Chain A
């Protein structure tokens, strides 16, 4: 058996609605209730659920972004967990290189590491000289390609994927989809949340269903 790299015990998370004098009832909304989950190194876990079932909150707890209001969330010492965020976070007034460094630093790797990966990032994103121009001049496809390339080279130990498997134009969508699938099939530890039933079945070893904040194993 591989070592446990993340575990959730009776985890509950609530969001508070804004304080109102008119509302008398409790203003807490539980997005997750008594969730128990153990993730071992190398596992690929799939989670299905409707919109608003608490999938994104679950990933945020695993990424260490929010703390549970109830129960215990543990992530192994030295394990970097992170959401695969492809579309976001670029400043339009900075060039691709500066944006790549900033994003990598936010993802927890060193500046020196990202700088050493610049050629690979340019190659994978296929941006060429455009990489040194402001990202504000990029098309949304170009920005997605840069986002994917930075994510790919700064990959966390516990990879959390929310819905999208491919980004960019048709050709790049295929390429990124293949790369993600390859990552999932390798010994990466992955938690993937998706509506695509087929994708979950073919890519993961365990599938859970999340319904109104309650997690059930299939």
Chain B
């Protein structure tokens, strides 16, 4: 084989940088999912077992021990736990995502947005599969699906935006502040408590409920539960609020990563 042979095949380059990143991103999501199912014995099965395990624990504590009065508590909990499982792990993993690629970043230049984005999409894929099972469960054991169920689509998009935005922001901070993942763990645990995963924020005293709804995650959970469990329209105002919050986080996060794109390889040494 000679160099002239390579020159004959002009290396096919990407017409557009973004098209290239798009192709890289999807291939990375695909290979990450493939690796994940291969390195564990339970693999794919664990995606289902984990939320069921949490569901059982929370049910034991809140329904059996504390005797909660929230109606349809199993369904309520199921939706909350599964929706939360997209936030929590994605945040904890994506805050380390850029720093974890230190070696690669010192060898090739690639947009650092890819690393947190691949994690969010990886978790999104799992979420959509598990959430589909939750919908089937609700349709069989709770109530027939109504047109109101369609309102979960914009809510899902708001959740996706919010997770992308927060992941970008967190991923941009860790290379400069190595202790940040520890802080994120604590913050995520606190957020889980105040977001109403296992209690209804709307049942709190009105002034407190209003305050808790400043947290977009609480709004997203409410807007899944209202149409799916209580056959009520979602709170459109709060849905818009969580969506706009997500847009703002994306602007800040993408700007921070892009601005430091060629600085990260130096600080992650």
Contacts and interface: CB of A to CB of B under 8 A. Distances in A.
A153 interface: yes
B108 A107 contact: yes
Contacts of A88: 103-104, 107
Interface in A142-189: 152-155, 179, 182-183, 186, 188
B71 interface: no
Nearest to A113: B12
A108 B38 contact: no
B262 interface: yes
B106 interface: yes
Contacts of B38: 93
A128 interface: no
Nearest to B269: A15
Give chain B's interface secondary structure class: helix
B104 A110 contact: no
Interface residues of B, number: 35
Name which of A107, A123, A124 has the most chain B CB atoms within 10 A of its CB: A107
A65 B3 contact: no
A108 B27 contact: no
Contacts of B110: 106
Contact of B13 (A66, A80, A93, A123): A80
A85 B109 CA distance: 13
A65 B31 contact: no
Interface string A88-129: 110101100010011001111111110011001001100000
Contacts of B2: 182
A63 interface: yes
Contacts of A123: 1
Nearest to B37: A93
Interface in B1-48: 1-4, 6-7, 9, 11-14, 20, 23-24, 27-28, 31, 34-35, 38-39
Contacts of B9: 117
A65 B265 contact: yes
Interface residues of A, number: 45
Given A91-B35, A93-B39, A155-B6, A60 B23 contact: no
B11 to A, nearest CB: 6
A65 B109 contact: yes
B262 A66 contact: yes
Give the most central of B34, B107, B269: most A CB within 10 Å. B107
B107 A85 contact: yes
Nearest to B32: A91
Contact of B27 (A67, A83, A102, A179): A102
B266 A66 contact: yes
A111 B265 contact: no
Contacts of B263: 66-67
A12 interface: no
B135 to A, nearest CB: 32
17 contacts: A15-B266, A60-B106, A60-B265, A65-B105, A89-B104, A91-B31, A93-B35, A93-B39, A105-B20, A105-B27, A106-B24, A106-B104, A113-B11, A116-B12, A182-B3, A183-B3, A186-B4
